[in-house]
A and B are shown apart, each in its own frame.
Chain A
């Protein structure tokens, strides 16, 4: 988990919202309205936390561990239970902001899928990433040129771009969106894939 953030500079400490230090925030609420508000707040907290730390995936079994501060407030010694975390993830998934790793559709439960351990957190959805990449290509006048995926992720040309350091799989998904729209074409074999923007 931490390895994914190594490429970026050490971020300033994340500013947790007010509710994070409110003990009942870590208990599942019974009142439906309150529960919905609780889920909403947790969802936005998870998204903003992931965005801040540039996390693209969460491993639930790890994230409930003590050293991971998102679901565990050491100061007030309160922890969000694993089932509640799953509920938050499910809430995000319904909103299109999360996806179980290993299955784009939730009925594929063979490898991961719903109830799996690793989950994509889409603080930007593949569509949004596609738009970002397209915008970057446009602004850097690289339409028609061919770029390797590595260049997009780690290359010097892409340094400073938002998608710098993006997960390869997520990049694939975003480029897939562009391919579907007819804005790009992917070729090459597994290790050295290239993409051409139209």
Chain B
């Protein structure tokens, strides 16, 4: 199954795998399987991480949230907004039979691609995984001389980046831009799949081709349809070249003018129809999954993300980035090689063999010289890692794990407790990553709701136990300070944003809530702790004091009244801060459960024995008089 069940945290966010980084969040996204809308997954948030794409449904998140692993994604395509159709990103899964082979093969090839140099060589070697098309089929047209050049056979659109070597134009020798070739390759892949007689993937899933091919088809649908239909053979009908729009003879397989391959028109009519109807915006819902299964036979469905609230461009960019980086390969990656890596990256052999070579090459030097030698080698290695990491930012992202490991090592070498703390906060910071730039959308609301979830997670995280240590309740200011400290001093949250996010907890039905006391002090507590439970706990404690004699001799009957408690006693007893205890006591007083006693020992709170209810039933003589008057008047008929 391409789409997998997703585990959610208490704050209804995806629970991340170790080393998984959140890259982007976008709300108001719908899911399609093939060309059908998934009925229960039409409004949710999409989390792009370094490993997965997670979809969290907004109405019933526990039931309908799904995730798909990026490593299972064969190809991803972008289709822009078209009339009423929202912009979409299509994710085509790897074929099941290849899925067992693919990760291993690519892992071997790109596993050591930690430096940008290594990556480019690897991608050059890399064979396109699926549908090894003939090289001649894909062409890019030079923007200078309009000569159609073949796209190199080893060019893989899903892995190509700025470092992929591109051959210059055969006619004029001008190098094309990457985007240009990419576009040509994608458009070619699209047209090939449409035209190919053997269909590996279901047709309806394919998006509208972004190139001029699609535009040409849409410009003249009647012509192409009439020619493509085998039932109405028309000898005079011409076949329009998708590239140069020259009307070719229908029997020709490639364009007479530009040599572009022509779409074979002996396709079944219904397939063409399907291909045409794919861009219909209000797509049909997927009612029974059987319908796609039967039509797609032994193929796997693709998944479309429909971005109704925008943000698709950034999502696409970041998806491209994470597909290029392949962070999931890092999970099983070997640690930083100990020996010099310069030859390792140049000859492209695996790190394991490098380590072996290094071991055999190493001259056996003992004593201090050996230690020095080792230290020197280590420094050189560190230099290498840092140097290659800062070569460019993408490479830095790829080697983030090593850099973090190095930073921790440096911190340990520093030895001080403070630096250890810093390292801890640096690593914990990786878990708290809701920042303004990873969140899409044009308003602040998504950022705030993400922040709210983030804080809620932070609070309910049992490992940290922030809330538990504070006795289940802490002031918002304290939380703000702790939270920002945990972020390690970067991407700090402003107090305004923090308060706004805290106010969202209730709306998002998160397990924590914000409470404002009478005095205006705001505190954070878990949702199950209401005023009633607090009062109950207070009363239970006060009732206990009837049983246990107080430490000092008291003048009143403690068996009957118990004793008064100060805010300090309460704070001690329940583990609250004194401010919180004061507020809670005053809340209970406000409810009439407690009463106060101001004495030389300070303000004490007691069980309320003053208002025991008889005051309310005490007859009011004025009212009685009034009642009797009214009664007399009504009896005598005046009223």
Interface residues of A (CB under 8 A from B): 18-19, 21-31, 33-34, 36-38, 40-41, 75-78, 95-96
Contacts and interface: CB of A to CB of B under 8 A. Distances in A.
B556 interface: yes
14 contacts: A23-B564, A23-B599, A23-B604, A24-B595, A24-B597, A24-B604, A24-B610, A30-B596, A33-B592, A34-B592, A34-B610, A36-B615, A40-B615, A41-B610
A37 B595 CA distance: 11
Contacts of B557: 21
Interface string B374-387: 00000000000000
B119 to A, nearest CB: 71
Contacts of A36: 611, 615
Most buried by B among A25, A37, A78: A37
B599 A27 contact: yes
Nearest 7 Cβ contacts at the A-B interface: A37-B611, A24-B597, A37-B615, A76-B555, A34-B611, A40-B615, A24-B595
B590 interface: yes
Interface string B588-615: 0111100111110000101011111001
B561 interface: yes
B298 to A, nearest CB: 75
A34 B611 CA distance: 5
A94 B592 CA distance: 24
Nearest to B609: A22
Interface in B524-558: 555-557
B464 interface: no
Interface string B557-569: 1001100100000
B556 A19 contact: no
Interface of B: 555-557, 560-561, 564, 589-592, 595-599, 604, 606, 608-612, 615, 618, 621
A28 B429 CA distance: 51
Contacts of A76: 555-556
A38 B610 contact: yes
Contact of A21 (B556, B598, B608): B556
A24 B609 CA distance: 9
Contact of A31 (B555, B561, B592, B597): B592
Contacts, number: 76
Contact of A77 (B555, B591, B598): B555
Contacts of B556: 21-23, 75-76
A19 B609 contact: yes
B611 A33 contact: yes
A31 B599 contact: no
B173 to A, nearest CB: 89
Contacts of B610: 19, 22, 24-25, 29, 34, 37-38, 41
A31 B606 contact: no
Contacts of B618: 40
B482 to A, nearest CB: 33
A23 B190 CA distance: 87
Given A21-B557, A31-B611, 20 more contacts: A21-B556, A23-B556, A23-B564, A24-B564, A24-B595, A24-B596, A24-B604, A27-B595, A27-B597, A29-B596, A31-B590, A31-B595, A34-B608, A36-B611, A37-B610, A37-B611, A37-B612, A37-B615, A76-B555, A95-B621
Contact of A24 (B591, B592, B606): B606
Contacts of A31: 589-592, 595, 611
Nearest to A21: B556
A30 B589 contact: yes
B554 to A, nearest CB: 8
